[in-house]
A and B are shown apart, each in its own frame.
Chain A
Amino acid sequence: MIVEGDYTFAGTREAVWEALLDPEVIAHTMPGTQEMVRVAPDRYEGRMRVGVGAITAAEFQLAVQLVDVVPPERYTMEIDGRGRFGFTRGTATVNLSPDGAGTVMRFRADMQVGGKIAAVGQRLLDSVSKMMTKQGLEALAAEVKRRLAG
C-alpha cells in the first residue's frame, strides 16, 4: 500500500526537521502513539494503539529505524510494527524543501499490512491510512505552529 502526498508547514526547514525527529513530537502527533523513545540516534521504539469504531484499539510494538539521513533535507524510516491483530511494516521517505517562508514536506510510504487486519479488514485499509495520514499531518502542523509561536 502506497501512501504519499505533500504538506506545507509555516516554518523553516530546520524547525520542521527538528520537530519531525523529536520523539516527543512523534508521540504527540502520530495517531494512536502511546509511547515513543529514541533508543539510539537513528532508532525509535514505542507502542501505538490504533482503533476504528467498534474495533478495539489494537496495540502495536513499533520500531522505527532511520536510514539515509541528510539533515535538514531528507530521511527514510524503516517501520516495523507488530501486534496481536497482525503487523505493519515498510519504508517511508520524507523530503523537505523550502518554499518561501514555509517548508514543503513530501512523503511517500510503502507499507505492508499482514495478519488478521489484512485478512478481514481490507475494505477499510485505504480509508484508515488516509485518515491517519490526515490526522498526523494536522497534528504535526499544529505542533510546528506551537513551537514557532513558543
Chain B
Amino acid sequence: MSPRWLGERVPRLEDTKLLTGRALFTDDVDLPGMLHAAFLRSDEAHGVLRGVDVAAARARPGVVAVWTAADLGDYWKPGPLLVPPPPIAGIVFNAATQVPLAREKVRHVGEPLALVVAESRYLAEDALDDIVVDIEPLPAVMDLEAALAPGAAVVHDELGGNLAARARQTKGDWAAARARAHAVIARRFRYDRGAAAAIENRGVVAAWDARSEELTVWDTTQAPIPIRNGLAGMLGLGQSQVRVVAPFIGGGFGPKIMMFYPEEVLIPWAAMRLGRPVKWIEDRRENFYATTQERLQIHDAELAVAKDGTILGVRDRFLSDTGAYDPYGLTIPINSQCTLLGPYAVPNYDSEFTVVFTNRPIVTPVRGAGRQHGVFVMERLLDLAARELGMDRVEIRRRNFLPPDAFPHDHQILFQDFRPLVYDSGRYAEAMDQAVAAIDYERFVRVEQPKLRAAGRRVGLGIVSYIEGTGIGPYEGARVTIEPSGTVRVATGVGTQGQGHFTTFAQLVSDVLGMDPSKVQVITGDTREFGWGTGTFASRGAVVAGNAVHEAAIRVRKKVLALAGAVLDAKEDALVLECGSVHVKGAPERAIRLGDLAVKANPLRGGVTPGTEPGLEATAYFGPDRGNAANGVHALIVEVDAETCEVRILRYVVVHDCGTVINPTVVEGQVQGGVAMGIGNAFYEQLVWGENGQLMNASFMDYLLPTALDVPAVEMRHTVTPSPLNPLGAKGVGEAGAIPAAAAFAQAVEDALQGGIEVLEMPLSPNRLFELMQDGAA
C-alpha cells in the first residue's frame, strides 16, 4: 500500500464539469410550476416597525402570496443559538438570535420585513415596490465604545444594554511580567468589517412532494446535514422526510454555514404551504446586508519584552462587533484571543473581550474567523518592539518561537472547540528560515532596498509568522462503495464550495484500493447520500472528513482482500490491489476485477455465513480529540508611491505547513485564494457605514474586491510537520492565506516609508494612507 497518489498534483477532477458549465448550482434547479420569491428589506438600520402594508402587493397580478411577520403565526420564532458560550469562568453571554421576518423592531439595514412569492422574480420585485412600510427611526448603534456607554440606544430592549458577551482568559501573571519588562509597547489596533463576497450569492429552492411526503431543499449551505435536521424540527417532519442538497457552490468562506437564515427557513415553509416549488436567489445587493459578515474589532494591547526581545507577556482588551444578533456565539473573539499567541512562547497572558450588539448585519465567521485580528495585533506589537529595541524583526521572532521539542504545548486557555488550546506540532523556525531564503531577506535589506531608496523608490518588506488552529471536531463520516461497474463511490456529509474535495478525497481512496483517482466518484453535501456529520468550516474538510474517507477505504480494502482470498484461493497477504483488480502476487493471471468482486459480494441465491455483510462497502467516522495547529510565514515586498499613496505588491512569498500535503496544487490554490482575500482585507475591502447605519457601498462598484489583476501570484513553499492527532497527519489550510496578509502588508508599508507612519488599522486605503502621511508630515 505504498502511497502513489498521496502528495501528487492530480489535476482537479471536478474542473471539467465546472469549466464546461455542466455542474449543478442551486440557481440551475428549475422545476415545473416553480414560483419565485423576493424579500422586502428594511431601509432603516434601527427603528420601531409600525406597519407593513402589503395589500397592494397581494392584489398585483402574478403575485401568489405575501407574508409579513404577523402572517407567520406559530412558525415565527427566533433562530437557533448555533454555538453556545464556552465554559470559561465568569463568562457573560446574552443570546439574541435572528428572526425570520422583523416584527416590532428593525435592527439592521436589509433585515427582511416581508416575503413575496410570485410567478416570476420580475413580478415579485414589482410587488416589493407596492409595499408601504412605516418605520419610526431610532438612533443607530454603530460605535462599539459609544454602544456600551450609559444612555446609548439599545439594539435589544429586553437586554437593557448592548453587551452581548464578555470573557477573560488568563495565563501566568501579566502584572508581574509587566513590572519586570525592559519595555512595554502599548497601542490601539482596529480591524474593520468586510464582506465574504463569494462569487455565488446564497440561494434556496424547495419542493414538497405531497404524495411521498418528502421535502427536498437545494441550498447553498456549507452544512447540509445540520440544516436538514433543523428544518425537520421546525417543519414538524422526520429527518428522513427532508433531503437537503448542497450542490456545487461558488464559494462559502463561512457565512454559508448552518445559519438558518430567514430565507433558508421560510422558502421550504412557503413551498409546503403553497404546494409548489419555490426558488429564492439572493442578489448582490441583498448579499451585502442579508449574508453575515465579519471583522470589526478594536484592541487595546500591550506587549512586555525583555531587553533581548524575549516576550514576557501580553495584555489585550478588545471590543468585537457581533452586529444585530449573535447566533454564532463567541467563535470569533475566542479565535482572536487564541490566535494572538501565535507560534511564540508567551508565559503571561491576560486577554478579555467584550462583544457588542450594533445595528449592522449579523457577524459570523468569515475565512479566518477572528484569527487575523490576533495575528495583526501580535505581529504589529513585535514589529514595534523590534524597532524600540533596535532589533531585527526576523530576529525578535526567532528568539520567541516555540522550539520543535516544545510539543504538545499547552497555552492554558480554551480554544473555539471548547478544548484546551494545545499545539500538537510545528517547526516554526524552519518555516521562517525558508521564507527568509525565498524572499532573499538579507540581500533585500542590505543591498536592494538601499539601492532602490537611493534612486527615490520607496520599497518595503514585510515578514510575519502565524498559527492557524484547524481541523476541529466533532466528527465527519464517509461511506466507500465499490460498484459492480468497478467505479468507487465515496459519499461524505461535508458540503463543497470549491475546495477540491472531489480530488483530494479520491486520492485518499485510490492509494488504498489501488486504482486511478479518476475512477473514484465523490459525492458531497447530499443528505440522502450521507446523513451524519456537521459541515465544511474551520479548515476541517481534509482533516476530519479526509481521515473518515481514508478509514472507510481501508475497511473496504479489508473486505476486498477477504473475499478475493476466498475467490482466488489465496492468502490475503499474497494479494495485490492494482489498476482496479486484485491478483495473486507473482501470478497475474489469478485475478479478479473489483467490479466482478462487488457482484460476488452480493449473493442472490443460496445461503451465506451468518454475519455476512453484503457488498464491498464500508462506513467510517473520524473525530479528533482536538484541533491541530497549522502554521506559516508570509513575506512580501511592496512599493509605495508617496505622491499618489498607491501601493503595489512586487513579490509575495508564503511558506506553509499543513502537515501531510494530499495534493500540492489544491493546497496552493487554497493559499493563493486566501492571500487574495487577505490582500482584499488589507488594502481594498471595507464596508463603509453612514452614522445612521446605512451601508454606503452595497455593490461591487464601491466595495472593492481585488481581482486577478490586483493580486500577485504567490510564490509557495511548504514545510511538512505531520499532525500526531490524525492518521493522515493532515492539518487544515482553507483559511491560512487570509490570516497574516494584513500584518505583513502593514509592516511592509511602514518599512517602505521608513518609519514615517505607524499602521495600526486595517484596511489601509490610499486615501487613509494619504491622511496618515499628512499627519506624519505635520
Contact = CB atoms under 8 A, between A and B. Distances in A.
A113 B699 contact: no
A114 B692 contact: yes
Given A112-B692, A114-B43, A114-B692, A119 B698 contact: yes
Contacts of A118: 690, 694-696
Interface residues of B, number: 20
Contacts of B191: none
Interface in B262-295: 285, 288
Contacts of A84: 129
Contacts of B694: 112-115, 118-119
Nearest to A89: B137
Contact of A87 (B43, B285, B695, B696): B43
B692 A119 contact: no
B43 A120 contact: no
B397 to A, nearest CB: 41
Given A86-B43, A87-B43, A115-B43, A122 B697 contact: yes
A123 B696 CA distance: 9
B288 to A, nearest CB: 7
A46 to B, nearest CB: 19
Interface string B683-721: 000001011101111110110000000000000000000
A119 B288 contact: yes
A86 B695 CA distance: 12
Contacts of A119: 109, 285, 288, 694-699
A123 B688 CA distance: 12
A33 to B, nearest CB: 22
A52 B47 CA distance: 30
Contact of A120 (B109, B692, B702): B702
Interface string A83-98: 0101101000000000
Interface in A46-90: 84, 86-87, 89
Contacts of B688: 122
A39 B38 CA distance: 38
Interface centre among B129, B694, B699, B701 (most CB of A within 10 A): B694
B316 interface: no
B44 interface: yes
Contacts of A116: 43
Nearest to B45: A114
Interface in B16-71: 43-45
B769 to A, nearest CB: 20
B702 A123 contact: yes
B691 A112 contact: yes
Given A114-B43, A114-B690, A118-B690, A123 B129 contact: no
Nearest to B288: A119
A123 B695 CA distance: 13
A120 B129 contact: no
B695 to A, nearest CB: 6
Contacts of A122: 688, 696-697, 702
Contacts of B109: 114, 119
B690 A120 contact: no
Interface string A118-133: 1110110000000000
A123 B701 contact: yes
A71 B702 CA distance: 44
Nearest to A80: B137
Contacts of A113: 690, 694
A115 B690 CA distance: 11
B387 to A, nearest CB: 38
Contacts of A115: 43, 694
Nearest to A1: B690
A39 to B, nearest CB: 19
Contacts of B692: 112, 114
A114 B694 CA distance: 6
Contacts of B44: 114
Contacts of B43: 86-87, 114-116
B610 to A, nearest CB: 68
Interface centre among A113, A116, A122 (most CB of B within 10 A): A122
A112 B690 contact: yes
Interface centre among B44, B688, B690 (most CB of A within 10 A): B690
A129 to B, nearest CB: 14
A65 to B, nearest CB: 15
A84 B130 CA distance: 9
A6 B192 CA distance: 37
Contacts of A86: 43
B481 to A, nearest CB: 49
Contacts of B696: 118-119, 122
Contacts of A112: 690-692, 694
A120 B697 CA distance: 6
A84 B129 CA distance: 7
Interface string A26-50: 0000000000000000000000000
Interface string B750-768: 0000000000000000000
Contacts of B690: 112-114, 118
A87 B688 CA distance: 18
Contacts of B699: 119-120
A40 to B, nearest CB: 21
A55 B82 CA distance: 43
A87 B42 CA distance: 12
Contacts of B702: 120, 122-123
A123 B702 CA distance: 8
B273 to A, nearest CB: 29
A113 B701 CA distance: 19
Contacts of B285: 119-120
A83 B690 CA distance: 19
A101 B432 CA distance: 77
A113 B43 CA distance: 10
A2 to B, nearest CB: 11
A115 B696 CA distance: 9
A115 B694 CA distance: 7
B330 to A, nearest CB: 30
B359 to A, nearest CB: 12
A116 B45 CA distance: 13
A116 B41 CA distance: 11
B137 to A, nearest CB: 8
Nearest to A85: B43
Nearest to B129: A84
A63 B705 CA distance: 39
Nearest to B41: A115
B141 to A, nearest CB: 15
B614 to A, nearest CB: 58
Interface centre among A87, A115, A116, A120 (most CB of B within 10 A): A120
A87 B690 CA distance: 13
A115 B695 CA distance: 9
A115 B129 CA distance: 13
Interface string B187-229: 0000000000000000000000000000000000000000000
A116 B688 CA distance: 14
Contacts of A123: 701-702
Given A86-B43, A87-B43, A114-B43, A120 B701 contact: yes
Interface centre among B109, B696, B698, B699 (most CB of A within 10 A): B696
A112 B702 CA distance: 19
B122 to A, nearest CB: 16
A1 to B, nearest CB: 8
Contacts of B701: 120, 123
10 contacts: A112-B694, A114-B45, A114-B692, A118-B690, A118-B694, A119-B696, A120-B699, A120-B702, A122-B688, A122-B697
The 5 nearest A-B residue pairs measured at CB: A119-B698, A115-B43, A118-B694, A122-B696, A112-B692
Interface of A: 84, 86-87, 89, 112-116, 118-120, 122-123
Given A112-B690, A114-B109, A122-B697, 18 more contacts: A89-B137, A112-B694, A113-B690, A114-B44, A114-B692, A114-B694, A115-B43, A115-B694, A116-B43, A119-B696, A119-B697, A119-B698, A119-B699, A120-B698, A120-B699, A120-B702, A122-B688, A122-B696
